[in-house]
Structure 1
Amino acid sequence: FKSFFQRLAGLANPSRFYTPQSFLDMLSPLQNQPLSLTHCLHISPAEVEHIETLKAAIITCPRSNRLLNNAFFPRHLIESAAIPLAIGTDGKSSNNNVNLLDELRVSLYAYEKANLNALGKALILNATLHGAKALGLNNGILQAGKNVDFAIFAFKDSLYNEAQNHVNQAPLHFILHATKPTHLYVNAKAVI
């Protein structure tokens, strides 16, 4: 964004106010509050440890990250950390829409070395349970004591195929084929 700040703000040599470490240090008093960090494309292992101590979540926005930075979040860096990874849509200024299903599809193709079935399951958790955790909401999973928010999608054929070596590919097929919910429930009340 150097040229952006030079052109729009008239700064000859713009520089950042914080280092990643000093920024995370500044957030320390908020560690018992819902805290989310967005993008984190150039996160280091030391920053992962710091984010974990903050009990923060990370929100990745795959399409805008690809368009603006030609990068995707390095999922492998937080595999063993207790950091919820959520998927967001960023804004329409860096996307053609704010469709979360489109973000899931791009994510599915972005990580070419990942097992597709495992990635599909992880992406659905990123969009539901981890998204709720990132926002400090009491939903994201159908469980006692949680708010009952969910969407129902209709499919022409079953998403589960037992003939495929007993591997449940339903999450993968959901991401590939879901378009628009037929029903939407918020707080157990039908909205659509």
Structure 2
Amino acid sequence: MLKLKADYVLTFKEKSDILLNAEVLFDKKIIKVGYNLDETPAVYLGKNSVLMPALINNHTHLEFSSNKTTLKYGDFITWLNSVIQNRENLFTKCNSKCYKDSINEMKKSGICAFGEISSSGNDLKYLTKQPLKVVYFNEIIGSNPAVADILYQDFLARLENSKKYENEKFKTGISIHSPYSVHPVLMDKVIDIAKKEEMVMQTHFMESNAERLWLDQGKGEFKLFFEQNFKLSHPLIKPIEFIQKFKDTKTTFIHCVHANEKELEEISNIKGFISHCPISNRLLNTGLLNLENVKNKLIDYSVATDGKSSNYSLNLFKEIRAALLMQVELHPKYLAKDLLKAVTINAAKSLGLNNGSIEPTKDADLISFKLPEKVNDIDNLFLQIILHTNEVDYLYINGEEINL
């Protein structure tokens, strides 16, 4: 059992978000939060110290972590073509050191858990023996009905293999790549598995204007892309129909930059989540998600780095700082609090994890770091944390200190 004391304790409960000079008592789980909790000596974390829930990066593609200058940015279709051309080579280049470096980057920036999209299963052997929590999303992709059964059998084999490794730090989920890249028959089959086994789900949705034009009108850049690569001349599903398939599941819709009002309302109706990846969206030049609109629809949103296929970093503090600076219509002080909630309690909910806030019975997944000076205006604490933090001093997962 350990008791930590910090100048600023951020709980991310519904109330009492900030406690000054407070203590947190925990073993594997949080026991008490407050003042003079018991006779256990408190470890003081230092001047201007912050203690808060560890961060959660709920959407990554570590398979692409070997990419540095290979893939082409600036346009979604150009980037997608470069992914298809270089995919296998990038997968091969990402060896044990590549995955280890990615995990180290995340844990140094205070990440205790991440959601990993796996399209190949090649990453499994690297992710079952690392210190962070992971929700491993087996991804289904394929729009050609002629090979649907082959793709489904491959998916089932990968899913069953990953389930062998489930434990308190490793759980399995299911990802449907997108409404434009998966045949509806495959969608129905894998969603049925998710419902029966109560697995969390993720899917990319309305990332680009090309997707918007294709799904609505069967036109635009995707028309040529699908005709050339997959001999497909028309979209297979409408966006609203796609969203409704996820009713009665715990699903996160990734990106949603070009989602319209009706689609956001439908995501809200089915109690879906949205994950915002601002740096990825900027590098692919797809636009910017309207976070205020998402919030007004009562949709819990998270912020994630996506993979290094469309980002230069897996550091969540850098990601939320980018979001803070991009969302120029929103007041930075209030947005900062929402962004920190996005990478703690909201991300935990989206992955079905028992962490993301500091309150009794939650997993003791915690981080601590120091600000450069005292924050006199406590209302600015969230903003100052985002502006001045890149790495953490301590990371605890299930109450155990993780070597940084």
TM-score, scaled relative to structure 2: 0.43
Distance in 2 (alpha carbons) for counterparts of 1:68 and 1:113: 21
Change (3 A) 1:89 1:14: farther
Distance in 2 (alpha carbons) for counterparts of 1:175 and 1:187: 25
Q: 1:97-116 alignment to 2 at 5 Å?
A: 97-116=313-332
| Offset at residue 191 of structure 1 (A) | 1.2
Distance in 2 (alpha carbons) for counterparts of 1:122 and 1:88: 14
Counterpart among 376, 379, 386 of residue 161 in structure 1? 376
Quick check: 46-55 or 120-129, which moved more? Answer: 46-55
Which residue of 1 is the match for residue 260 of structure 2?
44
Q: 1:85-100 alignment to 2 at 5 Å?
A: 85-100=301-316
Q: 1:1-192 alignment to 2 at 5 Å?
A: 4=81, 6=225, 10-11=229-230, 15-28=234-247, 31=248, 33-158=249-374, 160-162=375-377, 168-192=379-403
CA contact (8 A) 2:363 2:399 kept: yes
CA contact (8 A) 2:315 2:390 kept: no
Change (3 A) 1:20 1:8: closer
- Give the letter for the 1:183 counterpart: Y
Distance in 2 (alpha carbons) for counterparts of 1:99 and 1:191: 17
| Offset at residue 155 of structure 1 (A) | 2.5
CA contact (8 A) 1:2 1:14 kept: no
CA contact (8 A) 2:348 2:354 kept: yes
| Offset at residue 2 of structure 1 (A) | 5.3
| Offset at residue 14 of structure 1 (A) | 5.6
Which residue of 1 is the match for residue 10 of structure 2?
none
Change (3 A) 1:128 1:161: same
Distance in 2 (alpha carbons) for counterparts of 1:44 and 1:70: 15
SS of alignment partner, residue 296 of structure 2: coil
- Deviation sequence 1:54-81 (CA, Å, 0-9, x none): 1111111110011113412111222233
- Deviation sequence 1:71-122 (CA, Å, 0-9, x none): 1211122223331100010000101111111111100101112111001111
TM-score, scaled relative to structure 1: 0.86
SS of alignment partner, residue 94 of structure 1: coil
Distance in 1 (alpha carbons) for counterparts of 2:228 and 2:345: 40
Distance in 1 (alpha carbons) for counterparts of 2:282 and 2:385: 23
Unaligned residue ranges in structure 1 (runs of 5+): none
Quick check: 132-141 or 148-157, which moved more? Answer: 148-157
- Give the letter for the 2:383 counterpart: L
Change (3 A) 1:143 1:68: same
| Offset at residue 156 of structure 1 (A) | 2.8
Report which of the two structures shows the higher radius of gyration computed on alpha carbons. Answer: 2
Distance in 1 (alpha carbons) for counterparts of 2:340 and 2:276: 13
Distance in 2 (alpha carbons) for counterparts of 1:141 and 1:68: 33
CA contact (8 A) 2:318 2:390 kept: no
Unaligned residue ranges in structure 2 (runs of 5+): 1-75, 82-221
Distance in 1 (alpha carbons) for counterparts of 2:298 and 2:364: 25
Change (3 A) 1:69 1:34: same
Distance in 1 (alpha carbons) for counterparts of 2:355 and 2:307: 23
SS of alignment partner, residue 71 of structure 1: coil
Q: CA RMSD in A?
A: 2.2
Distance in 2 (alpha carbons) for counterparts of 1:125 and 1:14: 42
SS of alignment partner, residue 27 of structure 1: coil
